Structure 1
């Protein structure tokens, strides 16, 4: 079985994942904890790490099952075929989200376009390219995961 990326309606990620799990499909919606501010209060909520995307582990022949779930729109495609996510990459995301504390990263003299190797934290040994340098953070592109990482400057 392979992990596929399913595109969902906006704000439907958790609902679609729960419904897929309910019918016996292995689904994963990575969540992060966030403090949300309203005019009269603050609230701690869990939001999806990837907006409008969830991961499903399913046999190739059973891929159409997800279309019976309200909120599931389509599969994400790469080079004309459904995008497949490696088990190792799913495990990296799970490990990163299970870290109890934020990881401190020390940054010294990176420049836009530099290719670096992350030496600590949940993405250890991952290569990245410095895409953007701002006053209080860096934007890194993790090549193997195809995602963007924001690193706060200390």
Structure 2
């Protein structure tokens, strides 16, 4: 009977580790989510791991491959352990993760250009503004009306309520 284990992988090498493990007939699972990021000034939708640097694997310890073979796989650092033995992940947890579709709209929290937003903190606290565009990953450019004139300001995303 297959048992689920959790592997720790080298940073950013989950796909490589997964490919090499699947070549050894090891069942791999690492949930991914689609997020929206601003890269090089452009908004892009990217797939990122839900648990960076971790992969769930299912193996039959009696049949193989051995723990040593898995630990020696390219991209893998080691099993997650509690004590000397690798931790067995409950099958119910894997089933729960696989059965739940993550609503991607929860992770896309930037408004559309032209949408009204409210500034909740900072020097412009209490002002309503018009969202223009993202300015990197942590700031946005907003239009605020000051003295009957619209002015572009850069505001931290944490200071704005979409």
Separation in 1, partners of 2:98, 2:41 = 34
C-alpha separation in 2, matches of 1:36 and 1:63: 37
**Other structure's SS at 1:43 match:** strand
- After TM superposition, the score normalised by the length of structure 1 is 0.59
Q: Is the 8 A contact 2:4 2:91 kept in 1?
A: yes
Q: Hey, what does 1:7 align to over in structure 2?
A: 8
- 1:28 equivalent in structure 2: 29
1:29-51 CA-to-partner distances (Å, cap 9, x unmatched) read 11111112113212111111111
Aligned match of 2:94 in 77, 83, 90? 90
For 1:20 and 1:8, the matched residues in 2 are separated by 12
**CA displacement at 1:52 relative to structure 2:** 1.0
**8 Å Cα contact 1:5-1:76 kept in structure 2:** yes
Q: Say whether residues 1:66 and 2:70 are aligned partners.
A: yes
Alpha-carbon distance between aligned partners in 2 of 1:84 and 1:17, rounded to the nearest angstrom: 18
User: Which segments of 5 or more consecutive residues in structure 2 lack a partner in the other structure?
Assistant: 107-162
**Aligned pair count?**
103
Report the TM-score, using the length of structure 2 for normalisation.
Answer: 0.57
How many Å separate the matches in 2 of 1:99 and 1:38? 23
Structure 1 unaligned segments of length 5 or more: list them.
104-154
1:99 positional shift: 4.6
**Which has the larger strand fraction?**
2
Question: 2: distance between equivalents of 1:84 and 1:69?
Answer: 19
Following TM superposition, where does structure 1 have runs of at least 4 consecutive aligned residues deviating by more than 3 angstroms? Answer: 99-103
